[in-house]
Structure 1
Amino acid sequence: MSSHNGVSLLDGWFPLTLQIVAVVLLVVAVGWRTRRWRFLWVPVSLLVAVVGALLVHLYFDSQGLATDPAPWQLWVWVGATVGAIAVFVVGFRSARWWRRGVAVLAVLATALTTSVVLNQWVGYYPTLSAAWGAVTAGPLPDQVSADALGSMRNTGRTTGAVVPITTTDDVSHFAHRTEYVYLPPAWFRGATPPTLPVVMMIAGEFNTPSDWMRTGNAIPIVDAYAKQHDGNAPVLVFVDAGGSFNNDTECVNGPRGNVATHLTDEVRPAVISTFHTSSSAANWGIVGWSMGGTCSVDLTVMHPDLFHSYVDIAGDAAPVAGTTRQTVDRLFGGNAAAYASFDPATVMQKHGPYVGVSARYEEADQSGMPRWRGQHAGAHHRPPGGWKPPSQGGAGLGGRGDGGSANQGQEAVQLCAENRAVDISCTIDNRPGRHSWQFASTSFQDSLPWLSHEIGVSSA
């Protein structure tokens, strides 16, 4: 099965074919060989595979790398990869040259299959072309170099431009990756840039700064909005909230990095000074997906002097990295007071009435949707029915199982009530869908007109 954008990595023929090829290569690599091989080295390789999968599983859990357990298929393929390496090592001397070659191919095929299964869970690369573009650092939609911006003024652009931006870590000391800024067609009019509103875009737990563009389809969405509004759209800044792919920071300041400080004290001033955008909190909003949704709430209620509007797409009620105890330990080094300082409910109660702040919650309504029965409920926030294969509707899970928190809809209601108690206007939009990048993309498209109005984007 392939989509209009290429061969699907989330479902269809390619993942299944890759798994079959990996199994065949591994079986041939093992072979029948000698009695000693069958009764000593094959069991040893199998034991190494099981231990390897368990160790990776334990590391994954100890680091709180996702709110929900990974699918069991991932651990099977991790074990298969470790087992393939063991077969290659222990059987190298006794194997014929062709079997050594097959063993190498088995290692590569099982490792690649593991990567595809991981991708099916987190849903970052929907197609082969998208993955290739990311792996080879291919250009992003509308991407241009910063040096080219000057020559693009008054050229009558009909689409925006994406430029990389290097921000400092002098204040936060947070080692981050290259971030990106989208400039709408209106930014290029006139001799100098107009003072435009800005939206900070934050991705999920497993993240790169380009996720919203490569997987969330943000650039075509905002370009389409600009086309409908005479080139007017907000400036978008795609931030790094992780520093590395598997660093779940929840945008707090703690052992995993001073991310909140990076976003407020380094990214925001850099965008204002570099692109001459508005500095008024009334013209700044945040869109966050999954972990980023939690970040959007936190950053706004903690810094109403910097941000006035947010769209929380399937986030949690507060920063979470396991149980409450685990969250305090993992994100705040055991400091309960620091945890409370990033709890939105506590922050809002302490702050009292806000002025001009607005919120929107986008929640996935999974009622009536079929669920896969092959996985059992388990850890914190684990939804009933567990992980679903992409072919059964679970494509692109973003690291939070196929529904994220089983209570995210209720948590949105709770947060909205707490918003209203301190004069923050809020709305909740429930739509059919799952906790997926596909849901995030649709939610961004539907909420962009609302957010643009809230932060003062011209409707001309």
Structure 2
Amino acid sequence: MDWLLKHPLTSPRVMLAAAIVMGVFALYLLIRPTWKRTLLSIVGAVVGAGVGALVFWWVVDAQNIFGVDLSQVVRLWTIIGFAGLGLAIVNLFKSRWWRKVVAVIAIPAMLATSAVGINADFGAYQTLNEVIGGVKYAQLKDTTGQRGEAVKGTVDYATWRAPADLPQRGQVGQVSIPGLISKFKARAAVVYLPPAALVKNPPVLPVMIALSGQPGTPGNPFSSGHFATMLDEYAAAHHGLAPIVVSPDQLGNPADNPMCIDSKTFGNSETYLTQDVTNWIKANYRVSEDPRMWAVTGFSQGGTCTTQLVAKFPQLYGSGIGVQGQLGPILNNVPNTIAQGFDGSKAAYEAAQPRAIMQAKAPYRDTLLIYGAGTTDHKYTEYARQLHRASLAAGMDSKLIEEPTGHDWRTVQSVFREALPIVAKRMGLDAG
């Protein structure tokens, strides 16, 4: 059973098996004893497909409930799923009992196949284990050798020599980061320690704070974004050196969007990240206090937070990789955002927008912001372009990475793979 829970959902085998199952059910349900009933099945499938197309148009195109442009692949799988649902439903009428049983079984099978297809495009869940309960990480033990030694200034990694006890891969685990100052109720964070952090006498290492989207969990950058794999690959090419990556919970509740600000409605998410999380990292790992050695990265809601934090706190975070973020903190619409997030103050809302923050703090003297966009999500790509222009105007070193993907974790993976060496070199990990 364990192998089934851990088998990749996006693998060709799973996709082929799901397609075959759907095809067998569809063929059986289409072929009826008489041509009239066969025609009824066809009509059911066509009507279902039409309903699916209408639902997708209303939810995504007209109402923009998700706030993102979903791909045509997602649209197609939605239509296919509804077509299968319509086909199964009409087989519940004027049919023998065994056909009714097959139709009932076919309904979840059809919908599950559609979901697998959508997930393969979006890349949110890698295994069934993630779908039913998320990836479970073991509690991360203190393996740094020396705790709480924050060092001022940058570090010369050219003098680092990998010791004999350097492991081949880094370690990912769960930690608790309490909201001592913010009182923010956060879920457990997930941390990646590179090989160089796991030796007896580790070097002082840079830090990257990684933020999920919303809804999301702190483990998403590792389970959906494959960060650990890419960090291990980087470390293998750089004598075990890579940033320590901490993925805290900026949401508190996956259904909430605290917008990485301090508010009466959702709590002090900003203070949690900038003080509680940052202080905890400095107290537990050998890290540099130099902002050039600190970065923030995030996807979607986390991408928006990335821009906010790097723009507002250049004294803390010198770099950012924001993927598919919005122009600024938002809760569906501006009036709702002002009411719930800013206690009814339009002025406070406007001042919290990254572009306004950049204008107020310009010129930035040593800040890098990398924006990542999946070009099939036209709205968020335009957001990235606008923020990129604003960053350049404010004096930042700003880069824009566009990938032929959408608002999904595939975009995160592609952007992070390209941006990691840029940020790591800025941190001094690569002298080449």
- Whether these two folds match at TM > 0.5 is yes
1:134 maps to which of 119, 130, 133 = 130
SS at match of 2:297: strand
1:403 & 1:189 partners in 2: Cα distance?
45
SS at match of 1:9: coil
Partner of 1:372: none
Partner of 2:68: 67
Change (3 A) 1:170 1:50: farther
Note if 1:103 corresponds to 2:99: no
Question: CA contact under 8 A between 1:284 and 1:307: conserved in structure 2?
Answer: yes
Whichever residue aligns with residue 221 of structure 2, its letter is W
Partner of 1:367: none
* 1:285 CA displacement: 0.9
Gaps of 5+ in 2: 1-5, 148-163
Partner of 2:226: 217
Partner of 1:339: 349
Identity of aligned residues (%): 25
SS at match of 2:168: coil
Deviations 1:198-230 (CA, angstroms, capped at 9, x unpaired): 101123455332232233232122122222222
1:450 maps to which of 422, 425, 430 = 422
* 1:186 CA displacement: 1.8
1:438 maps to which of 402, 410, 432 = 410
Note if 1:359 corresponds to 2:350: no
Change (3 A) 1:50 1:98: same
For these two proteins, the number of residue pairs brought into alignment is: 406
Measured on the aligned residues, the alpha-carbon RMSD in Å equals 4.8
Question: CA contact under 8 A between 2:211 and 2:249: conserved in structure 1?
Answer: yes
Partner of 1:146: 140
Note if 1:418 corresponds to 2:421: no
* 1:235 CA displacement: 0.4
Question: CA contact under 8 A between 1:314 and 1:361: conserved in structure 2?
Answer: no
Within 5 Å, which residues of 2 pair with 1:241-320? 241-243=250-252, 250-253=259-262, 258-320=268-330
Change (3 A) 1:23 1:244: farther
Question: CA contact under 8 A between 1:281 and 1:306: conserved in structure 2?
Answer: yes
Calculate the TM-score normalised by the size of structure 1.
Answer: 0.68
2:268 & 2:28 partners in 1: Cα distance?
50
Question: CA contact under 8 A between 2:191 and 2:245: conserved in structure 1?
Answer: yes
Question: CA contact under 8 A between 2:291 and 2:314: conserved in structure 1?
Answer: yes
Calculate the TM-score normalised by the size of structure 2.
Answer: 0.72
1:173 & 1:53 partners in 2: Cα distance?
45
Whichever residue aligns with residue 66 of structure 2, its letter is L
Partner of 2:380: 405
2:84 & 2:341 partners in 1: Cα distance?
31
Deviations 1:156-189 (CA, angstroms, capped at 9, x unpaired): 3232111111233566565544321111122123
Deviations 1:25-46 (CA, angstroms, capped at 9, x unpaired): 3685698699xx99x9x99999
* 1:73 CA displacement: 3.3
Within 5 Å, which residues of 2 pair with 1:202-241? 202-205=211-214, 207-241=216-250
Change (3 A) 1:249 1:426: same
SS at match of 2:124: coil
Partner of 1:122: 122
Within 5 Å, which residues of 2 pair with 1:34-53? none
Question: CA contact under 8 A between 1:77 and 1:113: conserved in structure 2?
Answer: no
